[in-house]
């Protein structure tokens, strides 16, 4: 059952990206596209993890997951900013990009350096490959990174609600649903 779920999530993320690309060609918010690509890459990593058969395979799959997952919160934040017609200073924009690359680079050290995961053990859960890790200091940085983006996203949504002239009610509702899904997936995963 786990293989079916993982395959379905990967295929659905590919279909969603294809639909976005074909159906909404004229309404391009580049950051939405980047977010959909990041979701596809992260789901591919989850799919690889499910089919992994060793700790080495699980580590490689998890690194693929982080290639998407390290950038997804940033792309979602930038997409929200663009939808709400808000901007941030260039130095902050580049700082957030640098932070995402730093998180990604730290995640790539797994198996070589104990900053992100001190230990990794391969396990099979619900019939699919997985791992159990002892977190290092850099994983705490990733958690702070995620919580910061959730707070920033909520701030943008509240600001959009208060200044509804800037953003349509339909877009505000879509942002709220997306943020609730993001928060729930963070706590349930």
102 has pLDDT over 80: yes
Determine the average pLDDT of the residues in 57-86. Answer: 92
State whether residue 114 is helix, strand or coil.
Answer: coil
Q: Output the pTM of the full model.
A: 0.88
Residue found by looking up tokens 């600001």 in the block: 159
Determine the average pLDDT of the residues in 46-71. Answer: 95
Express each pLDDT in 112-152 by its tens digit. Answer: 999 999 999 999 998 899 999 999 999 999 999 988 998 89
Q: Which of 9-13, 155-159, 160-164 has the lowest mean pLDDT?
A: 160-164
51 has pLDDT over 90: yes
Top-confidence residue, 28 or 170: 170
104 has pLDDT over 70: yes
Residue 156 has a pLDDT of: 86
Residue 161 has a pLDDT of: 82
CB 112 within 8 A of CB 70: no
Residue 7's Cβ-count burial label (10 Å; 0-12, 13-18, 19+) is middle
DSSP string, 13-43: HHHHHHHHHHHTTTS--HHHHHHHHHHHHHH
CB 151 within 8 A of CB 26: no
CB 182 within 8 A of CB 157: no
CB 39 within 8 A of CB 15: no
CB 182 within 8 A of CB 150: yes
Beta carbons within 8 Å of 93's beta carbon, 6+ residues apart: 78
Cα separation of 1 and 110, whole Å?
28
Cα separation of 151 and 153, whole Å?
5
Residue found by looking up tokens 């997409």 in the block: 79
Residue 94 has a pLDDT of: 97
């Amino acid at each position: 059952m786990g293989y079916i779920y993982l395959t379905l999530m990967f295929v659905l993320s590919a279909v969603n990206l294809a639909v976005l690309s074909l159906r909404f060609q004229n309404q391009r918010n580049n950051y939405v596209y980047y977010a959909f690509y990041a979701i596809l890459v992260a789901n591919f990593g989850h799919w690889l993890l499910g089919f992994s058969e060793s700790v080495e395979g699980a580590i490689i799959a998890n690194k693929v997951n982080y290639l998407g997952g390290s950038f997804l919160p940033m792309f979602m934040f930038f997409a929200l900013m663009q939808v709400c017609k808000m901007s941030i200073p260039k130095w902050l924009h580049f700082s957030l990009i640098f932070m995402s690359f730093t998180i990604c680079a730290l995640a790539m050290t797994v198996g070589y350096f104990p900053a992100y995961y001190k230990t990794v053990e391969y396990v099979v859960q619900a019939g699919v490959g997985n791992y159990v890790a002892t977190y290092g200091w850099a994983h705490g940085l990733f958690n702070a990174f995620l919580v910061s983006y959730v707070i920033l996203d909520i701030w943008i949504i509240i600001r959009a609600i208060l200044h509804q002239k800037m953003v349509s009610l339909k877009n505000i509702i879509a942002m709220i649903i997306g943020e609730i899904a993001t928060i729930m997936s963070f706590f349930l995963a």
